[in-house]
Structure 1
Amino acid sequence: MPPKPPSRLFSIPPRFLCPAVPQQYIRTIKTIHPGKPSRFNYGHNLPILGSSKTAAFLRKEPMLPFRTGALAVKQGMTGIYDPETAKRIPCTVLQLDRCQVISHKRRDKHGYWAVQVGSGTKEARNVTRPERGHFAAHDVPLKRHLAEFRVKNEDGLPDIGSIITASLFQEGQFVDTRAVTRGMGFAGGMKRWGFSGQPASHGTSLTHRAMGSAGASQGSGSRVLPGKKMAGRMGGEMNTVQNLKVMKVDAANGIVVVHGAVPGPKYGIVKIQDAVKKPWPDADPMVGLSMPGTASLAVAEG
């Protein structure tokens, strides 16, 4: 048990012992009263509770990337011939569409460090008034898609309005991609979970692809346990594919080609960020980021 706190200096005596004390004085004492101490982790110089938000943030902090990611459009798959191995490498083509930094999420205000990124464009008549106010407050154009990318600290927050180009990623580095998978509709147990099905003979009638029993009787409480694999809606869920190697980068056209398949349908939105299970790329956190005026000036000078 925590040590018993000492007697408070401004403790309020019972009313019957001091009937002449004005009510205003009692209210003043209550305002400067420190309040009831917590019976958990009471005292100074004690370790942080493992179930607190601060401890959770410290556990996750080493896994957070140093810089922001980008929103891209999945244009489809292709192949790249490798002359060294004489093999065709399957790749996915991702293209950045007017990707721009919209706002920041700060630790002192929101509880974490993050960068809000928008891509595409949208007509003002199709944007709600709160959304138009959000874009106007940060002096950025209207965007069709918005997403957040967690970063490690304040150094990974680029200037609001910065344009994110394909040069944010370098050839040879590894990235993680996140997207919503293709919706398959209502699917059975064999397609959704890989069930083997029931026997083709020996009395099986019209239930060759059925899942069979959904659970025991008294042994499991005469009920179907939560999380049971059954037929239902398949797809349409956020999925992450990690450790995809960047094969080609075309900064002029905003194209990033990655090795392997990426979740989601064609022309779907994909989130790209540095892989958390690979060494961080040796690059400046602000590479591939530029303000709209400086970007146009660089193109004109080139």
Structure 2
Amino acid sequence: MKGIIGKKIGMTSIFTPDGKQTACTIIEAGPCVVTQVKTKETDGYSSLQLAFGDKTEKHSIKAETNHFAKASTAPKKFVKEFRDYNIDKALGETVTIDIFTEGEKVDVVGTTKGKGFQGVVKRHGFGGVGQQSHGQHDRQRAPGSIGNSSDASRVFKGVRMAGRMGGDRVKLKGLKVVKLFPEKNYILISGSVPGHNGSIVLIQK
């Protein structure tokens, strides 16, 4: 596996010479600093710990400051461990978007936008009870029956009901790397990526 930490910037469109349009997500990926190297001999498995986004020393605890000092770098905001990294990197080296090539497929992990407490129509796509009648003016978006009265006498677990929506960790697989901008650390990925603009995403291969 190879990967990098990035920040979602927004969306744009890329046009091919024949006029075909492709919707893309702009991600500012890296540069990420290698802050720890784990091996099978010392830790039981191999991985690289990458750090992204500068953080002031004032807002860092002493343990963080000392940990990043071993890699000769300033404190960072976001740290992620990538197991079985197939690119040899030493402590303190940087990882950039050069590890990817245009046209290859990648997986993107992000956290979806939080929607708050939502009803069954928005959360699960229910159609609602339907038309109002006999003075029932607030039943259009109601969930309807949720259980049996006499036999089970309870509501079964897993029934789709109203509740908190969004804020889930989601992985989208097989997204195409459309274009790379090494001078700006921008990577354009086809389609949409979960999360709001400015959210942290992981790009894996």
Asked whether the two chains share a fold, i.e. TM above 0.5, the reply is: yes
Distance 2:203 2:30 in 1: 13
**1:239 maps to 2:170:** yes
- 1:91 matched to 2:24? The reply is yes
Paired with 2:129 and 2:201, the residues of 1 have a C-alpha distance of 39
Question: Does the CA contact (< 8 Å) of 2:65 and 2:75 recur in 1?
Answer: yes
Q: Contact 1:114/1:157 (CA < 8 Å) preserved in 2? A: no
SS at 2:66 equivalent: helix
**What's 1:136 paired with?**
69
Instruction: Please tell me whether Structure 1 or Structure 2 has the larger radius of gyration of its CA atoms.
Output: 1
Letter in 2 for 1:115: L
In structure 2, the residue matched to 1:213 is 145
Shift of the alpha carbon at 1:109?
Answer: 4.7
After TM superposition, list the pairs within 5 Å mapping 1:113-152 onto structure 2. Answer: 113-151=46-84
Deviation at 1:206, TM superposition (A): 1.2
Q: Aligned partners of 2:150 and 2:69: how far apart in 1?
A: 62
CA drift at 1:253: 1.2
Closer/same/farther in 2, CA of residues 199 and 167 from structure 1, 3 Å limit? same
Letter in 2 for 1:77: M
Distance 2:58 2:47 in 1: 29
Question: Which segment is superposed worse, 196-205 or 118-127?
Answer: 196-205
Return the alpha-carbon distance in structure 1 between the equivalents of residues 61 and 40 of structure 2. Answer: 28
DSSP 3-state at the match of 1:167: helix
Q: Is the 8 A contact 2:113 2:196 kept in 1?
A: yes
3-state secondary structure, aligned to 2:122: helix
* Structure 2: runs of 5+ lacking an equivalent: none
The answer to whether the 8 A contact 2:34-2:71 is kept is no
| 1:144 alignment partner AA | K
| Aligned pairs for 1:136-285 within 5 A | 136-151=69-84, 156-203=87-134, 204-219=136-151, 221-274=152-205
Matches within 5 A, 1:18-167: 65=1, 68-84=2-18, 86-151=19-84, 156-167=87-98
Higher strand proportion (structure 1 or 2)? 2
Between the two proteins, the alignment pairs up a number of residues equal to 204
Deviations 1:104-127 (A, max 9, x none): 343455443322111110011111
Deviation at 1:196, TM superposition (A): 1.1
Q: Is the 8 A contact 1:73 1:268 kept in 2?
A: yes
Question: Which amino acid in structure 2 is aligned with residue 104 of structure 1?
Answer: V
**Structure 1 unaligned blocks of 5 or more:** 1-64, 275-302
Secondary structure (helix, strand or coil) at the match of 1:170 reads: coil
Distance in 2, matches of 1:177 and 1:94, equals: 11
* Displacement of 1:164: 1.1
TM-score normalised to the size of structure 1?
0.63
TM-fit CA distance, 1:158: 1.9
Asked whether the 8 Å contact 1:72–1:272 carries over to 2, the reply is yes
Q: CA deviation at 1:74?
A: 0.8
Name the structure with the higher helix share.
1
Q: Which has the higher contact order (CA 8 A, sep 6+)?
A: 2
Q: Please give the secondary structure, in 2, of the residue aligned with 1:144.
A: strand
How far, CA to CA, are the matches of 1:217 and 1:157 in structure 2? 63
1:242 CA displacement:
0.9
Q: 1:217 to 1:240 in 2, by over 3 A?
A: same
Give the Cα separation in 2 of the matches to 1:244 and 1:145: 23
CA distance in structure 2 between the partners assigned to 1:237 and 1:229 by the alignment: 17
TM-score (norm 2): 0.90
Q: Deviations over 1:39-68 (max 9, x none)?
A: xxxxxxxxxxxxxxxxxxxxxxxxxx2xx2
Are 1:104 and 1:157, in contact at CA under 8 Å, matched by a contact in 2? no
